[in-house]
Every structure is written in C-alpha cells, then in structure tokens.
Chains A and B, each alone.
Chain A
Amino acid sequence: MDTPAVVQQTCADAGHTSPAISLTGISKHFAGAGGEPLEVLKDINLTIAEHTIVGLLGASGSGKSTLLNIISGIVKPDRGRVCICGAASEEFNDWRAVSYMFQEDRLLPWRTAIRNVEFGLEAGSMPKAERTRRTHEALQLVDLNSFEDAFPYQLSGGMRSRVALARSLVTEPRILLMDEPFSRLDAQTRVLMHQELLRIHQLKPMTIVFVTHDVEEAVVLADQVAVMSPRPGTIREVVDIALARPRDPTLPEVTSYIQRLRALI
C-alpha cells in the first residue's frame, strides 16, 4: 500500500551491489493446443547489471514476452529463481519500483493526458499534491506539458506513446520493462521515440529491459542483446554492443552488428 518517501535509484544496499535482475534456471510450460504441455522457456540464465539497457531479441514464439512477464512478477515460472535487486521475486516487495510498458499505449480514453500519467501513481496512497507535482514532472520529461488537457483521441500515435512512457516513468522506477513498446508506430516516429528513451535514460539512471523482434532497434538501443531461439525458448547468445551513442544504423560498424545478430536469430 505505502510508497517509500525516498525512492531508491539503485540496488546498492548496505555496502554491496547486486545485479538489477538475475535469472537462474528459468523454465515455463503452457498448456498446448493438443493438451500436451508446450515448453515455452527452457533453463534461462541471465544477469542484468544496474543502469544498463538490455534487449531480448528473438523471432515470435521464442518466449521473450513470457520472460519479460516472469521478470515483472505477473507470470510465475515453473522452475528457477528470479532475483530483483538481490531479493528473490517472491520476497521482493517494492514492485512499484518496477514499471511495465505495453505494446499498445493502453491510455484510458476517458482521462486527459495528465490524468493518464497520474494513473501510474494511483495504486498507492501518495498525497495528492506530491502526485500532481510528479505527474507534471513526468509529462515535462516527455515534452508534452502543452497537451496535458487533451484526451487520447486528440493525440497522434507518437504523442500517445509518450504519454504511456510518462505513465511508466512517473513512479520513478529503478527497472523499466518494455514489451515491443514502439512496434505499433511508423518508422519515423519510432526513431524519435528511441532518441527520447535514450535521452531520458541519460537523465534518470535506471535499468531498461525491452523485448523486440527488430534487430535494428536492438542494436540502436541496447548495451547488451540477449538473442533467443524458439521452441523451446532459450538464450542462444548474449552480445555486447560496444558502440558509442547515438548509433546511426547506416554506419558500417552498426550494420556489422545488425548482420551478426541477424545471423544468430
């Protein structure tokens, strides 16, 4: 119920630092169409350091969205251990420090932009004044303060996406999970949103894990890309993207990464 007055921006705790997210031996089955269990994830091991941007890249059916849902705690794994900031997922109690951004913007149509952002804070019992202050700050961060009273139907796709981003950021999360968040946008707007996300990541230190099937998006955004292979979903390789930002996808060093990852999928 209660939200801590000071939000920790780091997992550093009593002198030692633990990774933001660590996954050990994660497996997951779903009931398949023919009644036999379908193996979605098999023995996933992954450690994500604090403040890094990690992409989960894979074709459809590789279980990357399921893995994201397991990290977020809304899906329980059959086997394995999820640790958030060193604490086991079941014991971790600060879920409001973990934000989730969906593939669709999921803005409530009856709320204005600012009230949609505020929705991110309404699960807890934060005082109204503090909520208003934070909401304005988040909307300013995505550069939409002049549209705070607009209803979703009055906004363009890119603006709606930014409102959804602001709603995810308003809780000042330590970890931001994103499930193909920009896949519904046109190519041009998507590039703008990538720049926006990287700019915000510079301002607010947080760990970002995003799911994508777009190789170019993975290379432009991520510090590390975990390439997943389908049926059953496993991590084939974790590739470090050692390139300075901004990364122009037409530059040869960037395209060489893109080709390398394409070959891995």
Chain B
Amino acid sequence: MTEVVDDRLLLRPAPRRLRLDLIVHRLVLVAVIVGIWWLFSLSVPHYILPGPTRVWEALKLIAGNGDLWINLGITLWRVAVGFVVATVVGLPFGIVLGANKRAGEFFEPVIPIMNTVSSAIWAIFAIIWFGISNATTIFVVFMTAMPLIITNVWQGTRTVNADFIELAQVLRMPDWKVMTKIYLPTILPYFFSGARLAFGFGWRVSLVAETIGSSSGVGYRLRQAADLIQTDQVFAWTLTLVIMMATIEMGILKPLENHLFRWKKEVEAQ
C-alpha cells in the first residue's frame, strides 16, 4: 500500500493556549459590564437601579433562607416536565410527518400557525383551563416547545439518504433496524438543535406563565419582588437565571453536542 497517509488526521486536536486567552477575554468582558452597571447605579436611586453590592447582598439573602433553591427547583421541574412531554409527542409526530408525504402535506399549515400564537395567549388559555396550578406553566412550556421539536425532526426526516436505505435493503436489514440505525442517527442532530431551542424558549415562557398563573416559582417571585419595589431582589433573581442558563448551555449542552456530532466536518476550524 503506497497510498499517502491523509494528514487531516494529524491536525485534529484544538490548540490549548487559545482557550486560556478566551477565558481571560470573558472575564474582562464581565468586569466591563459590572463596571458600567456600577457607574450608572451611583447617580440613580437604588429602587430604580441597585448597584452590584446591593444585588449581591440580596442574592446572599435569598440563597441563605432557601427561597432561591426552592423556587428555582420548582420552575426547573415545570420546564423539564413540559419539555419532556413536548419531546415525547413531537419526536414521533415529526418522524411520521416527514416519512409520510401525504400526512406531511396535510398538516403543513398547522405548525406555522402554532408558532405565531404568542406564549402570553397560551398562558391566558392555560389559566382559563387549569387555573393557578403547575399545569398552567407546564402547558405553556409544552405549547411553545412542541412545534419547535416537530419542525426540526420533520426537517431531519426529510434529509434521510435514500442511498443508505438501499444499502440496508441489499443487506436484508429488517425495518426496525433501518429505523434505529439509519433514520435515528440522521435525525439526531436536527432533534438536538430543536430541543436546545425548545428548552431555551420553554424556560423563558415559563417565567411569563408563572408571573400570571402561579403562586410559586421564579416568575412568581420576580413579580412579587417587583410589586414590593424590592428592585435588588428582582436583579438577584435575574442574575441567577442568567448564570443558570449559561451553565446549562456551556457546561452541558454544548459539550454534549460536540461529542455526539464529532463525526461532522469542522468547517469553522479551517
């Protein structure tokens, strides 16, 4: 075998030094933002814009008395339930709509219509149907996340390569194996990006739902703090949410995606 060894293999590992630079950049960015915040807060009453130290005290207070963890847990639990139900419904629906042309054509207008309905409207419907309860928030998350998951899975199903199906056919592979070995891996990247989007949206709309249709959770506590003009607590809650979403996104979802889809050609690395 005199074939030249492909050198693309040797270029794989990402340079380490660059990542350290990145961390420094991020820290500087955070410092700049906090600095600007602090400067503005000096000339404004604290109930309009509390300074960083005030917010830090408020954060320590709600973290100390357990308020933070209980409500964060409740909200997270509601988002997770709505999201899981949306996946359980959306995944098979998306596959069927993508695999069956007639069903796909028939239902095609439903998805954009569902997407145009604002989450606030779903929240109002939810209050009419479910009252002040967990179901209200879960329903709103579900109605927001499901169309996103269906759309993405649907798209993914349409990209299944007919050549691979034919390959499975000449190997005399049974249908269920074609499903798990060819359809599923093809759909997975589409499902994953849909799920990520749905989780982010679900999290945001859950707060809207909680402000008007709940007596617990982060959204409820945000509104309560605003009503009592505890602006420092409003900021503390907001900060918690930002940190949590960033942690989930960069600490879990991004690395998971990188690992699952490492077989994809890295375009941006060139």
Taking beta carbons and an 8 Å cutoff, which residues of A are in contact with B?
Answer: 1, 72, 74, 95-96, 100, 102, 104, 106, 108-112, 119-120, 122-123, 143, 147, 150-156, 158-159, 189, 192
Whether B20 is near chain A, meaning CB under 8 Å from some CB there, is no
Contact mask B180-222 → A, CB, 8 Å, 1/0?
Answer: 0110010000000000000000000000000000000000000
- Residues from chain B with a CB closer than 8 A to the CB of A192 are 1-3
- Residues from chain B with a CB closer than 8 A to the CB of A96 are 171-172
Binds A, one of B68-76, B101-109, B162-170, B224-232: B162-170
Partner of B6, one of A106, A109, A120, A159: A159
When C-beta atoms are compared, the residue in chain A nearest to B178 turns out to be A123
Q: A106-B164, A110-B185, A154-B8 are in contact. List 7 more A-B contacts (CB 8 A).
A: A102-B163, A110-B261, A112-B263, A123-B171, A152-B263, A153-B263, A159-B6
Contact mask B1-32 → A, CB, 8 Å, 1/0?
Answer: 11110101100000000000000000000000
Within the complex, the shortest CB–CB distance from B140 to chain A, in Å, comes to: 35
A122 near B177: Cβ-Cβ < 8 Å: yes
Given A108-B185, A154-B8: A123 touches B164 (CB 8 Å cut-off): no
Within the complex, the shortest CB–CB distance from B266 to chain A, in Å, comes to: 9
- Residues from chain A with a CB closer than 8 A to the CB of B8 are 154
When C-beta atoms are compared, the residue in chain A nearest to B189 turns out to be A110
Taking beta carbons and an 8 Å cutoff, which residues of B are in contact with A?
Answer: 1-4, 6, 8-9, 163-164, 166-174, 177, 181-182, 185, 261-265
Within the complex, the shortest CB–CB distance from A190 to chain B, in Å, comes to: 12
When C-beta atoms are compared, the residue in chain A nearest to B171 turns out to be A123
A-B contacts, CB under 8 A, total: 62
Q: When A and B form their complex, which 3 residue pairs have the shortest distance between CB atoms, in order from nearest?
A: A123-B173, A100-B170, A151-B263
Interface of A: prevailing SS: loop
CA distance A100 to B171 in the complex (A): 8
Within the complex, the shortest CB–CB distance from B258 to chain A, in Å, comes to: 14
Given A96-B172, A102-B167, A120-B171: A151 touches B262 (CB 8 Å cut-off): yes
CA distance A111 to B186 in the complex (A): 11
CA distance A189 to B2 in the complex (A): 10
When C-beta atoms are compared, the residue in chain B nearest to A101 turns out to be B170
